[in-house]
Each structure stands twice: as C-alpha cells, then as structure tokens.
Amino acid sequence: MPAVHPPAFPLLRNLTALQEGPFDVLVIGGGIYGSWTAYDAAQRGLKVALIERSDWGAGTSQSSSKLIHGGLRYLEHYEFALVRHALAERRVLSRLAPHLVRPLNFVVPVWKGARVGRMQLLAGLTLYDFLATGKQPVPRFKSFSRKKLLAAHPYLDEAGLKGGLRYGDCQEDDARMTLFVVAAAQAAGAVCANAVAADELLFDGERCVGAALRDTETGERFELRASCVVNAGGPWAHRLPGAPAPAVKLVKGVHLVLPAIAGLEDAFLLTAPSDGRVFFVIPWNGRTLVGTTESSVLDATGLGVDDTETGYLLDAVNALMPGLGWTPADVISRFAGVRSLQAEDAESLAAVSREFAVLTPRPGLIWPLGGKYTTARCDAVDIVDRVFDSLGRPAVASRTDRLPLAGAPHEVRDLGDFTGWQQEAISGLARRGFDAETASALTLRHGTGIRRVEALIDENPAWAARIHPDAPYLGAEVVLAVRDEMARTVDDVVRRRMPLSLVVPDAPTWRAKVAALMAEATA
C-alpha cells in the first residue's frame, strides 16, 4: 500500500521523525530553494528531511522584491535563455498558486536623454513578450503618450518626459510562498522542521553521509544520516563546518516600505539618474515598496539598511517623482536580503550572471548556487536530478509543475477563474462583517485556507479583530500561524506569516498583543 502522508496543513514539527532515519536526502536550508528541492524530491518518491535553522523563508527568501518576473533588465546583458526560462515559470507559478502570484503591470517612463531610449525599450518589450510563449497571466506591452502618462501619474517629473510604456509581470507573497511549498513537501512525505540547525556535516571517508543537528529551542543534539545532503543555505551555506565552499559573490539588496501612492495600481520600473541603476516602485499591501540597490558584501549575517542606502533610494524616487516629496520620516520600514551568485569578473553587479549551477564539491554533497526566486521550482528539478545521480538511481520525472499548492481553488485553470472564486469568497467574508480590504487580503494570503480562519473565528469571535487598526491582519491569523503554520516566535508571525512588521511602525503594544494571542493559541 502507498504511504499515508499528513496533509499540507497543519505543519508538524516532529523531531522524533527526524531521528528515525536514515533518509535518502537531507535538505539543509528552508528558503525557497531548499523548500522546492524537498518538495520535488519527496514528490518523486525519495525519503526526505528538510531542516531550517531559524524559520521558513527567514533569510533571503523573505527579503525579495516580491516579484515573479522574467527579468526585463537581463535582456540588456543578452541573457535571453534566462529570461525565457523565467517567463515560462511565471506562467507555471501563476497557475499553481494564483492566490500568491498575482498579475502586476509595470510602467516605464521615458525621459529625454535616458540611458535606454524609447526605441530600445520598444525592441526590448517586443522581445520580452515574444519570449513569453504560451498563455500568460499578463497582457502584452502598450505605449503611452506624455499627456496620458501625466494624467494618470501627475507626480512624475514633467521636464523632458517623452511618454512611456507598460508591460506585465507578476507580484508574489515571497514568505508565504516559501511556507506553502514547505507544506507541499510535507504533504508529499517530507519530514520538515524549523528551528533545527545543522552544526556540522558528517562524512564516511570522502562521502557526505548526513549532518549533526541541534534543536535550537531545547539544545538537544542528534545525528541525521542521509545518503545525500543538499546544502541549500544560500549565502550562509559556506558557514557549515565540513563543507568545501565554492567561490561565491554575496550581493546585498535593500528595500524601503513607504506610504501608498493614492490611486496607484501599477508599478514603475525606473533608472536612477545618479548612476543608471534600475529600481522598482511597487504598490504592495496598501503601501509602496521601493528597491532594490545592490552592493557586494563579505558576510550575510545581521545586515540592515543604512541611512546612505535609504538616502540613495529616496533621492532616486524624488528626482523622477518629485510630486511625492518623500523624506526619511516617511519610511515605514526597511529590509535587506543577500543572494549568493557565482563569483566572476563583471563590470557591475547588474552584469553578474544569475544563471543557476549545481555543484558537487564532495561525493554525496550537492550545492546549488545562483538562480532567482522565479526559477527556484524548475531549478529544484535539476537539483533533485543530481540527487538521483548521487544515489545511483534512475531519475523519476518531476510533477511539481502540475500540482497546485495548498490554497489554490481546484476549479481554477486561469486568471479569470481565480477572479471569480475570489469575488465569491470576498462576498462570503463580507456577510460575516469583514471590510473589503480585510476580505481581499485574506483570500490572497490563504486562498481556500480562509475556511481555517473562519473556523477559528467561530471558536472565538474575539479573534476576528484586527491586530493593528491600520493593517488588515486578524487575531485569528496569529492563532492559525501557531497551530497550523509552525510559527515559533513573534517575528515568525509578524514578518513571515503576515507582513505586519513591514507595513506599520514597530511598537511594543502590538507586539505584546501578538504574544498574548500566541499564548492563547497554545492554551
């Protein structure tokens, strides 16, 4: 009989199951790459353990630009294969998780003397749409006159503005996407546990045969034996003792969260006048996300966003959108993430290749390097193919491109289907007394999982209240995060299960409320 696995939710942190090895593969690192790798391997029939030192997506995967995109700017460096690859995944992910991956239009204003002129942009967007084969979740590009652009966006700098173009990509909830992929891995049979650190790799001669693990909450130590180990620690991977580290370049990207721009539904792709670097201005969770800058760093630990980086982004926005008049006092929050890319000589960080590689520095040890959030699912297929090679077994075909994630309505086949489902779900939540903002936010964070939220509110109607009046996140979601989503700390809840700490100023009052709700969840 086939093995019976737990459902996607609730997530089960079962350390006893981790100690009941051996496993075919141990995946170290619960970011988006480790999560997709564990899911793909388990779906293909391997016995899989997935561990994360902190929390799911707590490193780089929570600190992206929140986009699923082809990477328009990569065309400038002739990375056509990378763009085609990413655009194909944009289509796949919007189908697998329509509640987490949503269409978003980008406006590209063109000013006189711009580094990339209108004709070059037209050629690039024509190629971008051409490379996006198959039915896509976004419309093809469109041109706008100066008059129409200013009518829609009067805060743009009028001096030298010639017009603009609009193209489509997708926005995502990066932290919850990681969480939902972990849940899919569990449903496929993987044993998944956060707050478990790999302190050292284990070897039998030259071959890697597992790792020495530690429960970071209790300090309990044990060894996990596995026929193959995938070190998916991203920019922290080289810190694992016993791991022969390849040469990498660590690249830090920073983002600011600012107030909403009234009436704005489209994002902007802009070029900083001071140095020609590309950055985004994106409507996000009722606020505006601005970023990213890129700079080389030597270590990924404890990095924040400094005042110089903040000033750079604000200066760039105010030069091109002077009508906004943003100052440092308008910044609600800021965050930084670090990516590990292949070390190579390049004239600028923008030109450093995001191409993905799978390295095998020792027998039984697999080390993914490079890549981008958008292509993590199909890159994980390559990682697991390498796992099968390491195990000496013929590879089983991957199916993760055809299996919707938890929360995706079963009847959804395209964007129109999801929109219809969402409208019905919002109407149902409205009948329960929820305002439109809260109802819409619930459908996008949970998809069909809103039924679990509703059940908690039936259990305790007080949990229907917002945690903070200026953000559409409910007490019931805190309880759900603890009971069903493996949240262990306040930061797990307010940074990754919901982005509360990014959209409102930090304050001990609402943090204390969250801590009290977490205690109620386990009472």
- Other Cβ atoms within 10 Å of 4 Cβ, number: 6
| Residue-wise pLDDT tens digits, 440-470 | 999 999 999 999 999 999 999 999 999 999 9
Report pLDDT for 414.
Answer: 59
Which has more pLDDT, 293 or 355?
Answer: 293
pTM, to two decimals: 0.96
As given in the structure block, the two tokens for residue 376 are 């993590």
Do residues 464 and 429 both lie within one domain?
Answer: yes
- Kindly state whether residues 282 and 346 are assigned to the same domain: yes
Position 415 confidence tier, pLDDT thresholds 50, 70, 90:
low
Same domain, yes or no, for 271 and 164?
A: yes
Residues 331 and 344 in one domain: yes
CA-closest candidate to residue 141, choices 132, 150, 152: 132
Which of 14, 30, 15, 130 has its CA nearest to residue 70? 130
Instruction: Say how far residue 361 (Cα) sits from the centre of its chain.
Output: 27
Start-to-end CA distance of the chain, whole Å, equals 38
CATH number for position 234:
3.50.50.60
Mean pLDDT, the chain, as a whole number?
Answer: 93
d(CA 175, CA 196): 19
Return the pLDDT at 476: 98
Question: Does any domain span residue 323?
Answer: yes
Shortest CA distance to 25 belongs to which of 282, 340, 487, 383?
383
199 three-class SS:
strand
Residues 331, 304 contacting (CB under 8 angstroms): no
Checking if the pLDDT of 345 tops 60, the result is no
Please compute the mean of the pLDDT values over residues 2-12 and round it to a whole number.
Answer: 89
271 and 288 fall within a common domain? yes
Whether 275 and 160 share a structural domain: yes
DSSP type of residue 87: H
Among 226, 195, 243, smallest CA distance to 52 is for 195
Residues 214, 302, single domain; the answer is no
CA–CA separation, 445 and 500 (whole Å) = 13
Does the structure show a pLDDT above 70 at 64?
A: yes
For residue 291, the cross-strand partners are: 255, 280
Looking at the domain assignment, is residue 79 inside a domain? no
Average pLDDT over residues 384-409: 96
pLDDT-based confidence at residue 352 (cuts at 50, 70, 90): very low
Report the residue count for the chain. Answer: 523
Residue 234 near residue 280 (C-beta atoms within 8 A) = no
Nearest Cα residue to 382 out of 365, 395, 373: 395
107 plus 188 within the same structural domain: no
Is 306 in the same domain as 335? yes
Q: What is the pLDDT of residue 135?
A: 79
* Counted domains in the chain: 3
User: Does 91 map to a domain?
Assistant: no
Distance CA 390, CA 366 (A): 9
Does residue 411 register a pLDDT over 70? no
DSSP 467: E
What's the DSSP call for residue 331?
Answer: -
Could you tell me if residue 397 is inside a domain?
no
Structural domain ending residue among the three candidates 351, 383, 403:
351
- DSSP character string of 368-410: EE---GGGHHHHHHHHHHHHHHHHT-PPPPP-TTTSPPTTS-T
Average pLDDT over every residue of 347-375: 80
Determine what percent of the chain is predicted with pLDDT higher than 70: 96
pLDDT (average), residues 82-97: 93
Where residue 327 falls (left for φ over 0; alpha for ψ -120 to 50; beta otherwise) is beta
DSSP SS3 for 144: strand
Alpha carbon 175 to its chain centroid, in Å, reads 5
Report the pLDDT value the prediction gives residue 350, as an integer from 0 to 100. 47
Domain extent, residue 44, equals: 15-60+175-245+354-391
The answer to the question of residue 95 being in a domain is no
Q: 363: buried, middle or exposed (CB in 10 Å: 19+, 13-18, 0-12)? A: middle
Query: Rounded to whole angstroms, how far apart are CA atoms 289 and 466?
Result: 23
* Cα–Cα distance for residue pair 440/425, rounded to 1 Å: 9
Instruction: Name the H helices within 188-223.
Output: none
The per-residue b/e assignment along 261-281, b for 16 or more CB within 10 angstroms, e otherwise, is beebebbbbbbbbeeebbbbb
Please write the tens of the pLDDT for every residue from 171-219.
999 999 999 999 999 999 999 999 999 999 999 999 999 999 999 999 9
In angstroms, rounded to a whole number, what is the distance separating the alpha carbons of residues 136 and 142? 16
**3 DSSP 8-state letter:** P
Does residue 336 form part of some domain?
Answer: yes
Question: What is the enclosing helix (H) or strand (E) of 482?
Answer: helix 475-484
Question: Is the same domain home to 281 and 159?
Answer: yes
Q: Is residue 151 assigned to a domain?
A: yes
Stretch 226-246: mean pLDDT: 88
Residue 240 has a pLDDT of 87
- Confidence at 341, pLDDT banded by 50, 70, 90: confident
> What is the average pLDDT across 294-308?
88
Q: Do 120 and 24 lie in a common domain? A: no
- Average pLDDT (276-281) is 94
CATH of the domain at 295: 3.30.9.10
Is 296 part of a structural domain of the chain? yes
Query: Could you tell me if 518 and 424 lie in one domain?
Result: yes
pLDDT 10s digits, 96-134: 999 999 999 999 999 998 888 888 888 999 999 999 877
Distance CA 397, CA 49 (A): 20
Q: What is the pLDDT of residue 351?
A: 43
- In one letter, which amino acid is 333? S
Q: Which of 296, 327, 351 represents a domain boundary (last residue)? A: 351
Residue 134, pLDDT score: 76
User: What is the four-CA torsion angle of 303, 307, 310, 311, rounded to 10 degrees?
Assistant: -150
Q: Positive or negative CA dihedral for 424, 428, 430, 436?
A: negative
